[in-house]
Amino acid sequence: MRKLLIALVVLAAPVAAEDKPVPSPIEIVAAAPKGDWVAIAPTDLLVMDLAPDSKGKPRRVVIQLMPAPFSQGWIGNIRKLAAARWWDGLSINRVQDNYVVQWGDGEAEDKAKAKPLPERLTRVPETDYVATYGELNIKEVPPETGLYLSPIGGGPARFFASRETVQSDLYAPIAIFHKGWPAALMRDHETRVLKTLIWPVHCYGMIGVGRDMPPDTGSGAELYAVIGHAPRHLDRNIALVGRVIEGIEHLSSLPRGTGALGFYESAEERTAIQSIRLASDLPGDKPLPAYEYLSTESVSFAAYAEARANRRDAFFIRPAGGADICNIPVPVRRVN
Amino acid sequence: MRKLLIALVVLAAPVAAEDKPVPSPIEIVAAAPKGDWVAIAPTDLLVMDLAPDSKGKPRRVVIQLMPAPFSQGWIGNIRKLAAARWWDGLSINRVQDNYVVQWGDGEAEDKAKAKPLPERLTRVPETDYVATYGELNIKEVPPETGLYLSPIGGGPARFFASRETVQSDLYAPIAIFHKGWPAALMRDHETRVLKTLIWPVHCYGMIGVGRDMPPDTGSGAELYAVIGHAPRHLDRNIALVGRVIEGIEHLSSLPRGTGALGFYESAEERTAIQSIRLASDLPGDKPLPAYEYLSTESVSFAAYAEARANRRDAFFIRPAGGADICNIPVPVRRVN
């Protein structure tokens, strides 16, 4: 019951404090200074061109790959697969509503028809589903700085010494934005060492590595994008490698498959992949724009996250007082 | 720091306790006895028939309307609109990725072209965004009963005296499944009375009432369905009236609108609505099957919710130890 009462006080506070209109999350992002934005290297962008739609319109999906310490074994494989043009001519084979879109070799189950994988792909152990964050160093930050969040489930607002924004979470002890990515943290219990583990989390638009039952069987050749409510139960059970930063509508609006798990029942239903390339390997006549993400260690991002959790722009009459990490998407923009 | 350590113990427990395979959430639902299922009355089902797709296939969306104490003012209007055949010939006008699909009168903004609403629709006050739950009566239930959840953010597992399953929440003091619906609870702070407020929450597939800026301007004529990550910040800011129980793929796979907020930029892009009727008013030659939902007060539902929060079926190597209420969709099935 104590928890309930504390949460009520937090809930009531923002309403009472509001006398004048405050900027919306979008306005906060629009006002962020140039220095709060981080360029995404073309070597970290994977560009998937699907066959044009029924009206002949091109369908390009742009994916940002994760930085270290996350999932670099699988990402290395993905770079090799793209360099080998392995996905060219393959297809999207599965679209399950409120869950995932999956692509790769539609004939992978049939050894006689399966497309051979490039040589020297790495077999990545399941231990790599999590990374080491380092020593946990939480300090309290006074509310006057504005650099804080007041999530309902999480007690007082806190910042990491690194200025990374943290969030209450229901799937892990704490959620955090780390190097531009939504992630979760916990102490490493098994080793009995005060090491902190960090792993990326399954939000809308995230890209993961399909696998068979043994947890080290995902190579990166079978990829999926989340197109529904965050399936956070998959965290630490399957590898995440990136996120869609443009063109997700070309995946999320595809017809749903009617077979088990949303697989298409016939090859005719599949959408063909023309090519998947790193942006740095695209031919010169098809340039990709430059992209930036809002630094998750910036003051602008902290204000944006706070505003997402406490909507006070004109439409809203009751700010929630909290938000889950997947309801605070990291802003990404085209630069040119 | 205390919270972090407690959560770790909860996380570690299910793994250590597992020696044999346990049923998956789907298997638990499949094994639920007949008595745990509740029939949905045809008078509570709204049937939307869209124009056939490009291959001539019918597109039917079945919506379950909420029971009291939720949103009955708007639902009364929706019954009148359906009886008046008001939506017939109107259209889906907005599809915003990872957010909502919205339908109604595409010309509503233009007074000269707008379709007149039926007479005697009720203007519902914003106070009706929340309902009264009654006296809060939490009691501890011993874990041995199996009737409990161990959400990470929420401390010890608890049940309401009514046997309703509760969940930790980040947007409200507590989340609860009430009469088959995902909802949230808080003490009524403003009246200083120990009354408890309850309101339905925005999960994937939920149906809401579009409105203009004043919070009492939604009649029920403009409806939306959630097709992305749960936009829980809308809770208590806009009315929810139901959920899609079949055919959501006919909404979620529609082309995204390219105008502001995902509105279609031309009338040609809109999808036509052939008719919207209560199932009880459908012509006899187009019968609807009967539907049931799994009682959220049943032992089966509690076990299902627990299994969703602690996945131990074969694919999973690390159960999360928690789940948000929108990641525990209430099971609905066709009976015939």
Per-residue pLDDT at B182? 97
Report pTM: 0.89
Q: What is the DSSP secondary-structure string of B65-125? A: EPPTTSSHHHHHHHHHHHHTTTTTT-EEEEE-TTSEEEEE-TTTT-TTTPPPPPTT-----
**Contact assignment for B237 to A317 by CB distance below 8 Å:** yes
The DSSP bridge pattern shows strands A45-50 and A271-278 to be antiparallel
Percent of chain A residues topping a pLDDT of 70:
82
Q: Band the pLDDT of A189: cuts 50, 70, 90.
A: low
Per-residue pLDDT at B335? 94
Q: Which residue of B has its CA nearest to A228?
A: B228
Give residue-wise pLDDT tens across range A63-112: 999 999 999 999 999 999 999 999 999 999 999 999 999 999 999 989 99
Q: Say whether residue B11 is in contact with chain A using an 8 A CB cutoff.
A: yes
Q: Band the pLDDT of A297: cuts 50, 70, 90.
A: confident
Per-residue pLDDT at B281? 94
Q: Which residue of B has its CA nearest to A9?
A: B189
In the sheet that A196-200 helps form, which strands lie side by side, from edge to edge? A131-134, A196-200, A181-187, A174-178, A166-167
Per-residue pLDDT at A62? 98
Per-residue pLDDT at B8? 30
Residues of chain B with pLDDT under 70: 1-20, 134-163, 188-195, 286
Per-residue pLDDT at B264? 98
Give residue-wise pLDDT tens across range A229-269: 999 999 999 999 999 999 999 999 999 999 999 999 999 99
Mean pLDDT over A206-216 rounds to 96
Q: Say whether residue A239 is in contact with chain B using an 8 A CB cutoff.
A: no
Q: Band the pLDDT of A152: cuts 50, 70, 90.
A: very low
Evaluate whether A90 touches A107 at the Cβ level (below 8 Å).
no
Local structure of B234: helix, strand or coil: helix
ipTM of the complex: 0.89
Helix ranges restricted to H, A177-268: 249-252
Q: To 5 degrees, how large is the angle CA B205–CA A246–CA B209? A: 25
Interatomic CA distance for residues A332 and A205, integer angstroms: 13
Q: What is the DSSP secondary-structure string of A270-302? A: SEEEEEEEEGGGS-TTSPPPPEEEE-TTSHHHH
Mean pLDDT over A210-239 rounds to 97
Interatomic CA distance for residues B154 and B325, integer angstroms: 13
Paired with B275 in beta bridges are: B49
Q: Band the pLDDT of A135: cuts 50, 70, 90.
A: low
Give residue-wise pLDDT tens across range B5-58: 323 323 333 333 445 678 999 999 999 999 999 999 999 999 999 999 999 999
Per-residue pLDDT at B195? 65
- Cis previous bond, B69, omega within 30: yes
Partners of B230 on chain A (C-beta within 8 Å) are 229, 327
State the nearest Cα–Cα gap between B1 and chain A, in angstroms: 9
Local structure of A227: helix, strand or coil: coil
Per-residue pLDDT at A168? 85
Partners of A12 on chain B (C-beta within 8 Å) are 189
Residue A132 pLDDT more than 90?
no
**Contact assignment for B173 to A3 by CB distance below 8 Å:** yes
Higher-pLDDT residue of B246, A168? B246
Mean pLDDT over A44-71 rounds to 97
Q: Say whether residue B156 is in contact with chain A using an 8 A CB cutoff.
A: no
Q: Which of residues 240-259 of B touch A (CB under 8 A)?
A: 248-249, 252-256
Residue B290, token pair as written in the block: 């009967």
